[in-house]
Amino acid sequence: MTSRISRRALVVTVVGVLLLVGGAVFVSQGLAQRYVGAHSSLTVHQQPHPNDLNEYTYYSFSGGNGLTIDDNITYIMDDIVALTLADAEASGSFQVPHLDVYVQEHGVVAVSGEMPNFWKLASGGVARPWAPHAYMIPAFAGGTVTFAGLFWLATRWHLTASAHRREIDETPL
């Protein structure tokens, strides 16, 4: 009597589950690494920016509303972190580029390095349309392979159960 469970289909299902779990763990660790990297990638310099810097003025509190840089530097840094995170997510990367932030006395912040796409934040970091990234492929392939293996198992079970006293060859379906 042929077994109702195909060993090859079982192996495919297990491989799919391993691929799915491995891909999910990889993505989860990558996201955590991105978050930590965004916080550690900022270097704040309380000094005027170099003259050859391709500067970018992010905030200016020269309006005389009582705010000072010292009170709001944390808030500004958090915003820059959010920008770099949103930028990394948009590009599908787990790496966050290093940025040097120059804070001047009169409330001008200059950022060195590659500029984050600042204007994306204006509509909200999560308002962008969903886009697939390469790091999602292993988990997606794992889920698909898992379901394919389950369908293989189901088909084998059904054919074996419906063929009474009939031998089924061992070739894969």
Partner 1 sequence: MPETKPDFDPRFDPRFQPGYDPAVHAESEHRPRHSSAQMSAERDSGTERDSGAEQDARSSVPVFDAEHLAHGGALDQQEHETPDAAKTPPRSEAALLLRNPFLWIILVLSVALLVWSWTSYESAVATSTNLFSSSFGDDEQTQAEYTKSQFILGFAPFCIAVGLLALSGIGFFAAATWRRDQVAAR
User: Which residues contact partner 1 by CB under 8 A?
Assistant: 24, 27-28, 31-32, 35-36, 39, 74-75, 78-79, 81-82, 85-86, 89, 121, 124-126, 130, 132-133, 136, 139-140, 143-144, 147, 150-151, 153-155, 157-158, 161-162, 164-165
User: What burial class does residue 12 get, using C-beta atoms within 10 Å of its C-beta: 0-12 exposed, 13-18 middle, 19+ buried?
Assistant: buried
Residue 146, helix vs strand vs coil: helix
CB-wise, 71 or 105, nearer to partner 1? 71
CB of 26 to partner 1, least distance (A): 11
CB of 110 to partner 1, least distance (A): 20
Strand-by-strand arrangement of the 42-45 sheet: 42-45, 99-103, 109-111
C-alpha closest to that of 109 among 168, 32, 55, 42: 55
C-alpha closest to that of 39 among 80, 92, 87, 8: 80
CB-wise, 64 or 165, nearer to partner 1? 165
CB-wise, 49 or 142, nearer to partner 1? 142
Strand partners, 44: 101
CB-wise, 102 or 152, nearer to partner 1? 152
CB of 81 to partner 1, least distance (A): 5
